[in-house]
Every structure is written in structure tokens, then in C-alpha cells.
Chains A and B, each alone.
Chain A
Amino acid sequence: MARALPLEHVTARRPSGRRTRWREYRTGYLFVLPSLAMFVIFLFGPVIWSLLLAFQDASLTRRDWNGLDNFRTLASDRVFRKSLVNTAIYAAVTVPVHMLVALVLAGMMKPLAARWQTFFRAAYYLPAVTSVVILATVWRWMFNPRFGAINQMLDLGPVAWLSRPNLALWAVILSAVLTIPAAGVVMYSAAMGSIPEDLYEAASLEGAGAVRQWWDITIPLLKPTSLYLIVMYTIWAFEVFERVYIMTGGGPAYATTTIVQLIFDTGFRDWDYGVASAQAIVLFVIVAMVSAVQFRLFRSEVEY
């Protein structure tokens, strides 16, 4: 996907003389330059800087190399371990639920008329256009012990969802799970729409029922979309921040602190740049590893 299409090499006219060739090169470089400069200054540079900071004792006033000390600190840090566990639980619950809900809803929408499909897609997507900050603010209000929608509707009495250590993480997860995975629904339903109808007709002729068709045609042919979605939802889950920051601020007693919440606290509340960078690098490694595993598990050569 990323590679230049081979066709292009055929059609691209090789510039003739040396001067015209240089002119072509120069145009190319000049057009790429503004973006490239931004990447060098605000991304490539900072990534390297971050790698260096991870091996330094760095704060507002100090700056010293300290080898692997930051990583050693992390290895024995209970809060860091807690944040890894919280993030893992959050991902382990939200990702499968999102995948399943997206798949089922897209499947249910499939037989409907096009305009109804558009309607449902839009209705599911509408909340997603507002900031997670806003939605999480509303969720915090909905979890209000006395007057929030949740307790009033479930008639539970004043359950303090967000300030009880054993409930808070589950309340945050619940708020995520009750949000329709709109991007997933849209992508799955687009992918389902592009499965050729004659595959199903052929299967019907051979006596395969709806369930059989779902398992033997729809699910396998959706594999590329599933791969994409599972990787994206997992990355988003590991990078969860706004929802936690707004709903609980990571509390009570670190019960909801996630990796990114901790990076934020370490870097911009405790101003410990070195340890914050080390935490960010651990996040990077985890995300890269999880994506690699998912790619291996889900990779398929399905074509249709």
C-alpha cells in the first residue's frame, strides 16, 4: 500500500537533459520541504531527544546521564505497574466488546435500505465528533452518586462509582463500552457491502443457511477490516487518557491511572522528564509488540 505503484514508473517521463532533471528534482524537494521540516523539528528530533532523556536524570533544573536508572525505577515502581495493569484491563475489555458490537451492528444494518443505513451510521457517529473530554464530562455527571442518570435509572441508591477504588476503573470502562464504536460500524458495513452478492447466492443454492454463510463467507472476508480495526482499537485503548483524566484524574488511590495519565503526571506535574520519557518508551514498545502480534495472528491473503 505504501509503495509507489509500479505503473507510475512506466508512465513517469524520465526527464531528459541534466538541467531539466535537476529542475524536476528541485520542484519535488521544494514541495516536500515544508512538511518534511515540520517532521524533523517536531517528530524525528523529539523522538531521538526522548530516547536520550530516558537515560537521563532530567527535570526542570537537573540534567545528568544516569544509564538505566529510570527503567530500574519503573521496574520497582508500584504505581507504574498499577498503570500497566489498569491499561491492560481497559484494553482487554473494551477492544473485544468494540469489535463485537461493531461487527454485530454492521451485520444488522446490512439488509436495510441505504438511507436507513446512512441514518444509523450518522446517529452512531454523532457522539464521536465531539471531544472525548466533553463526553467524559457528561459521563462523570451521569455517574454522580445522587443525581446522575445511572443511579437514578437503575434505582441503585447513592453508589459512588467514581470514588470507590474497586468500582472506578469499571465505571470508566463501562462509559467506554457503552459508546458505540462508530468507526468500526462504518468500516465493517462498508466492507460487508463490497462482498459480492453471488457468493451468498451460490452458498444458498448449496443449502447453506444464514449462520453458515455468516461464518464461512462474511467473517473470513472481513478479516482485513478486522485486522485494521483490532490494531487501531488496541492502540487507542493503550493510549487512553482524556476519559480517565476527566472522570477520575487517575484516582482514587491510582485505581484508574493509565499509562498516559501517568506519563502526564510524571512529566507535567512532577516535572520528572527522564522517568516520563522512559514511561513513554515503554508504552511505545508495548504498542509496537501488541500490533506486531495482532498482525501475525490476523494476517490473511484473502482476495475477492
Chain B
Amino acid sequence: MQMTRRTPRDVNRSFGKLIVVAILIATTALSLFPLFWMLSTAITPGSATIKTPPSLIPLPTGLLGAGTDLPAWIRERAYSPTLENFHELSTQTQGNIWRWLGNSAIVAISITVFHVLFDSMAGYAFARKTFPGRNLIFGLLLSTLMIPVQVTLVPNFLLISRLDLADSYLGVILPGFADVFGIFLMKQYMQTLPREIEDAARVDGANEWQVFWRIVLPLAKPAVATLAIFMFMRSWNNFLWPLIVLRTGAKYTLPVGVATLQGEFSTNVGLIMAGAAVAAVPMIVFFLLFQRYFLGGIRIGALKG
């Protein structure tokens, strides 16, 4: 093995690298701390949530009992994790917390499915079909990116009320479809697909719908996955519009419901954090499963953060 001499410059460099990694790790900790604090509070027994120093170290009950020789600084900060906050939350909200979970799922899945369908159809037409006004319509749709969504809140609320859809899932779902991002994404992606397969299918007698449904859509799977994840995350987390439309507690989506917990249980932080965890954990799991699509989605400018 050959020995390499470490010059002062090398030492400097590896020292620099150490600092860089230290900063990155510190910022990672900072970034994850709120989530950690939320989950930690959610599984802390009620009485231990409000004390000094804060309970931060979950330990099995056995270790906390008398006769174990834990250092005092650990013992002061330790707690035995429990799900009692979740049970309590469930009873106190009369099961609404789980209803909100279901509502969020219904709303997010409906928006995702129909958005992906409509957007790929429109994207296909803009990418492949020629028709008078095509570029004008596409330009008009793209120009909506400039319009802050808040401009449409009042009129959309009046519209939804007139359609008798206030306080309904449909009222939450429908206005979400006026969003150009997915159309743009699908158009860009479909333009890169080879035309020959579509033409071959047409020669074999497939009609336009079959070409789209059986050939183009399966080929566009990566774009469909990115779009679906984007839409799901956005509608799962959406707050302002459901807050305006929904009135009945049992119909709330998770963000709206969790926001009301603050007013109701202001003294019981464990319950509020348990509610927050119910809303956060599904998205976190979802992210860990489909990470690469998320990161792809950010790169094309789809996701906030």
C-alpha cells in the first residue's frame, strides 16, 4: 500500500469538509425538530407534556421504575411512551378525528384521480392534436398561473353556495380542478413520446379514446405518477378552501379539524399534537415510499417548500 503524505492543504480540506458535514447535519436536525417535538408530545402521557425540563426521551416503563440507576438528567427528561392521547382525542372528538382522516382521504383521492384523468386528456390534445385556437387556449390556461388563488375565493364560495354545495365534499373538490400545472406537465411529457406506436394502433383500428387510454396513458406513467403524488399531497394539505366551504364538524378534512382542536383543547397540548400527528404521519409515510417522485416533482417546480 502506498502511503500518501498529508500536506497541510489536505488537512485543511478535510477539516473544511468536516465543518460542512457538521453544518448539514445541524440543519437537518433543525429541519426535523418540529416533527420530532410533535410526535414526542403526542406520545407523552398527559401530565408529562407540561413540565420543566421538557419530556424528550421516550423510555420503556420498566427502565423508569424505582431501583434503576439512570442519571438524573435523563430521568428528568424521560417519559414512558403511550397512546393515551390518541384514545383521549378519539373520545373527546366523538371519533371525529378518524372521520376527518377518512374525509381527507376521500377528498384527496377524488381530486387526484380526476385531475390526473382530465390533465392527461388535455395534455394529450395539446401535445398531439391540431385544432383551431389550440395555442390560444393553452396560453390562456397558462396565464392563470399569474392569478393568486385568493382572488377567486369569494366568487367561488358564492358559486358553490348557489349550487347548494356548501358544506359538502363536492364543494371542496370541484374548484380544485381549475389548475394548469398538470396539463402543462402532461403536455411536455407526451411531446417526448414517439408517435409511431400511436399511429400503429390507429392502423390496427383503435379509436382515439383507445389510443389515448391504452397506448399514451401507460407510456406516460412516470409523468402520471409525479402528477398524482403532487395532487394528492396538495389536496391532503389544502386548508383555506375547505375551511371556507365546510361548516359541520364531522365533515372537516384533517387540517381544518386539527386547526379547531387548538381552540377546544388549548390546555391539553398532548391531544392537539396527537391530532397533528394523525394528519402528518400518512404524508410522511407516503413521502418515504415515493421519495424519488417527490424530488422529481420539486425539480420541475411543482411542489412548495
- Contacting residues, chain B, for A264 (C-beta < 8 A): 153, 240, 244
Q: Tell me if A65 counts as interface (CB < 8 A to partner B).
A: no
Given contacts A137-B258, A147-B49, contact A131 B150 (CB under 8 A): no
Identify A2's interface contact among B142, B238, B272, CB under 8 A: B142
Q: Please tell me which stretch of A47-55, A71-79, A89-97, A199-207 contacts chain B, meaning at least 4 of its Cβ atoms lie within 8 angstroms of it.
A: A47-55
Q: Tell me if A161 counts as interface (CB < 8 A to partner B).
A: no
Query: Shortest CB–CB separation between residue B281 and chain A, in angstroms?
Result: 9
Assess whether B121 is in contact with A180, with CB atoms less than 8 Å apart.
no
Query: Shortest CB–CB separation between residue A266 and chain B, in angstroms?
Result: 9
Assess whether B41 is in contact with A50, with CB atoms less than 8 Å apart.
no
How far apart are the CA atoms of A25 and B177 in the complex, in Å? Answer: 24
In B191-247, the 8 Å CB interface with A consists of 191, 195, 208, 212, 233, 236-240, 244
How far apart are the CA atoms of A186 and B146 in the complex, in Å? Answer: 23
Q: Please tell me which stretch of B63-71, B83-91, B93-101, B291-299 contacts chain A, meaning at least 4 of its Cβ atoms lie within 8 angstroms of it.
A: B291-299
How far apart are the CA atoms of A181 and B298 in the complex, in Å? Answer: 12
Q: Tell me if B4 counts as interface (CB < 8 A to partner A).
A: no
Interface string of B14-40 (1 = CB under 8 A from A): 000100110110011011111101100
How far apart are the CA atoms of A258 and B110 in the complex, in Å? Answer: 32
Count of chain B residues with a beta carbon within 8 Å of a chain A beta carbon: 97
Q: Tell me if B53 counts as interface (CB < 8 A to partner A).
A: yes
In B121-146, the 8 Å CB interface with A consists of 121-122, 124-126, 129-132, 134-135, 137-139, 141-142, 144, 146
Assess whether B294 is in contact with A124, with CB atoms less than 8 Å apart.
no
Q: Tell me if B5 counts as interface (CB < 8 A to partner A).
A: no
Q: Tell me if B11 counts as interface (CB < 8 A to partner A).
A: no
Q: Tell me if B248 counts as interface (CB < 8 A to partner A).
A: no
Identify A142's interface contact among B37, B138, B294, CB under 8 A: B37
Assess whether A31 is in contact with B54, with CB atoms less than 8 Å apart.
no
Looking across the interface, which residue of chain B has its beta carbon closest to that of A27?
B208
Query: Shortest CB–CB separation between residue A172 and chain B, in angstroms?
Result: 14
Given contacts A128-B303, A141-B272, A287-B148, contact A28 B129 (CB under 8 A): yes
Query: Shortest CB–CB separation between residue A234 and chain B, in angstroms?
Result: 12
Assess whether B298 is in contact with A5, with CB atoms less than 8 Å apart.
no
In A204-260, the 8 Å CB interface with B consists of 228, 232, 235-236, 238-239, 241-242, 245-246, 260
Q: Tell me if B276 counts as interface (CB < 8 A to partner A).
A: yes
Assess whether B280 is in contact with A25, with CB atoms less than 8 Å apart.
no
In A91-128, the 8 Å CB interface with B consists of 105, 108-109, 111-112, 118, 120-128
Q: Tell me if A86 counts as interface (CB < 8 A to partner B).
A: no
Assess whether B41 is in contact with A129, with CB atoms less than 8 Å apart.
no
Interface string of A41-67 (1 = CB under 8 A from B): 111111101100100000000000000
Query: Shortest CB–CB separation between residue B128 and chain A, in angstroms?
Result: 8
Query: Shortest CB–CB separation between residue A142 and chain B, in angstroms?
Result: 6
Given contacts A8-B191, A53-B155, A124-B28, contact A141 B259 (CB under 8 A): no
How far apart are the CA atoms of A122 and B131 in the complex, in Å? Answer: 43
How far apart are the CA atoms of A43 and B156 in the complex, in Å? Answer: 8
Given contacts A32-B121, A39-B178, A276-B154, contact A187 B273 (CB under 8 A): no
Q: List 23 A-B contacts (CB under 8 A).
A: A4-B135, A28-B130, A28-B131, A31-B124, A31-B212, A35-B118, A36-B122, A38-B178, A49-B159, A50-B151, A108-B23, A120-B28, A123-B28, A125-B294, A128-B305, A129-B283, A130-B279, A149-B33, A183-B305, A238-B148, A239-B148, A260-B240, A264-B240
CB-CB nearest 9 A-B residue pairs: A128-B305, A28-B129, A28-B131, A46-B155, A31-B125, A131-B237, A49-B155, A43-B178, A183-B305
Interface on A for B, CB 8 Å cutoff? 2-5, 8, 11-12, 14-15, 24-25, 27-29, 31-32, 34-36, 38-39, 41-47, 49-50, 53, 105, 108-109, 111-112, 118, 120-135, 137-142, 144, 146-147, 149, 152, 178-184, 186-187, 190, 228, 232, 235-236, 238-239, 241-242, 245-246, 260, 263-264, 267-268, 273, 276-277, 280-281, 283-284, 287-288, 291
